Structure 1
Amino acid sequence: MSLGALRPSPLVEQATEHLREQITGGEWAVGTKLPGETTLAKSLGVGRSTVREALRALAGAGLVQARQGAGVFVTATEPKEGWSTQLRQAAITDVYEVRMLVEVEAAQLAAQRRTDDDVTALHEALAGRRDAAKAGDAEYVEADIALHQALVAAAHNPVLTGLFTEFVPVLEQRLLDLVELLNLRSDHPNYGDEGHTALVDAVVQGDAEAAGRALRDELRRTLALLHSL
């Protein structure tokens, strides 16, 4: 079977997608042993290392499994749901509970690890949030999330940063829905400014306990509003 040579770049992504299509399209049934790396490399017009990386990606999606000394076998014809998919489908209250666990820890670490550049970024983000209070709900929510992103970045933990980045698309849409549905900014255009100011102040002063408490209180208030919907 010829899979067709691929364009030069990006090779790994193309090889992964090409093999994925063969599996999900039923070319190889569950339990089927895939051709060897050399054969796949020749069919795809790429090197064995590219095929190896593609197979690892497919294994991560739950489509194939390598068996020591036996080869690589198809284990499913539909990829398992990724973290991003689960987040998009989850209830916003569940997302918020997990966000609290992640971001409160990030706030405490930020208070211990913030640099001068982090302090500047936090002050600028807080000012940006206040400026956005004069704008529409979408701009305001975007500025709010930008402040929280600056906070997480100040923790200097790439895993925490990666986790929060996964939350952002879901949070942005759901928070916008919340603000609009409850008309939160009708009386207070800069809703939550006091709590966010206390949070930034605590991080800047290096008070981890106060930073965690300020953020936990802020997120709990929002979670209570979400539960009221």
Structure 2
Amino acid sequence: MTSLGPLSRSPLVDQATQRLREQITGGHWPVGTRLPGETTLAKELGVGRSTVREAIRALSGAGLLAARQGSGVYVVATEPVEDWPARLRRAAVVDLYEVRTMVEVRAARIAAARRTDDDLEAMDLALARRRRAAEEAGDAEFVDADIALHTAVVAAGRNPLLTGLFADFAPVLRRGLIDLMALVDLRAHDPALGDDSHAALVEAVRVGDPDRAGQIIERELEGTLRLLRRETS
């Protein structure tokens, strides 16, 4: 096994984590290997045991290490587990839109069945904001207003998991939509871009028509998805 070598100045925990990660991903400690004890690692790295402990905790959180009661810390993987936010950031916008369509169609149907007066007020305000942005704002502000309306519809479904999932999507959606608008100038001939369908969606939720709400949002998102596929193919 190659020597780890002492670390330079702070941040020591980050450096210790990186050095241990390199030993794992580089194959010096294969899967199944028991790590040297904290005292040994601390001495080789030139840091305190608490720094080693924090580094091991970080690598355990990444799925590379696992502690076994009474036995020690073992290598369980050579590649870190990619968390959900990282996957979203790396996702192609077409893939994201396919999932978004599934989420929002169901969310719109649920919203039509569960919406409250407060939800309807939030959607009306969001629709009005979207219309103002269509007249007065640039693409980025319009996208923000559009996402705010969709967020209000999803929130009306009163399912915290759906709401949280859409919130995770929102930053990546925003970036993808702004890029798409810059690429094909979507608002050149229709600054409000689908105002009729968005107003119809709000109305379908208002009157409690889940089938209509689902159909409207599916048609709207599928249209954008077709455009994305054409522009990215």
TMscore range, shorter length: 0.7 to 0.9
Give, as a single letter, the amino acid of the residue that structure 2 aligns with 1:107: A
Q: Distance in 2 between matches of 1:69 and 1:105?
A: 48
Q: Secondary structure at the match of 1:133?
A: helix
Worse-matched range after superposition: 61-70 or 165-174: 61-70
Greater radius of gyration (CA) = 2
* Counterpart in the other structure of 1:29: 29
- The alignment's TM-score, normalised by the length of structure 2, stands at 0.76
Provide Cα deviations, 1:73-100, integer angstroms capped at 9, x if missing partner: 2324542222222223222211111111
Structure 1: state its 5+ residue gaps: 4-13
Shift of 1:170: 1.3
* Counterpart in the other structure of 1:150: 152
* Counterpart in the other structure of 1:107: 108
Shift of 1:22: 5.3
Does structure 1 conserve the Cα–Cα contact (< 8 Å) formed by 2:35 and 2:72? yes
Cα distance change, pair 194–64 in 1 and its aligned pair in 2 (3 A): same
* Counterpart in the other structure of 2:127: 126
* Counterpart in the other structure of 2:4: none
* Counterpart in the other structure of 1:43: 49
- Correspondence 1:1-229 to 2 at 5 A: 20-21=17-18, 23-26=20-23, 29-30=29-30, 31-33=33-35, 35=37, 43-44=49-50, 55=57, 58-67=59-68, 70-76=71-77, 78-134=79-135, 135-229=137-231
Give, as a single letter, the amino acid of the residue that structure 2 aligns with 1:29: W
Q: Secondary structure at the match of 1:29?
A: coil
Does structure 2 conserve the Cα–Cα contact (< 8 Å) formed by 1:63 and 1:76? yes
How many residue pairs match? The answer is 213
Shift of 1:147: 0.9
Cα distance change, pair 117–20 in 1 and its aligned pair in 2 (3 A): farther
Shift of 1:138: 0.7
Cα distance change, pair 44–219 in 1 and its aligned pair in 2 (3 A): same
Does structure 2 conserve the Cα–Cα contact (< 8 Å) formed by 1:33 and 1:73? yes
Shift of 1:161: 1.6
State the percentage of identical aligned residues. 50
Does structure 2 conserve the Cα–Cα contact (< 8 Å) formed by 1:23 and 1:74? no
Q: Distance in 1 between matches of 2:192 and 2:111?
A: 24
Shift of 1:140: 0.4
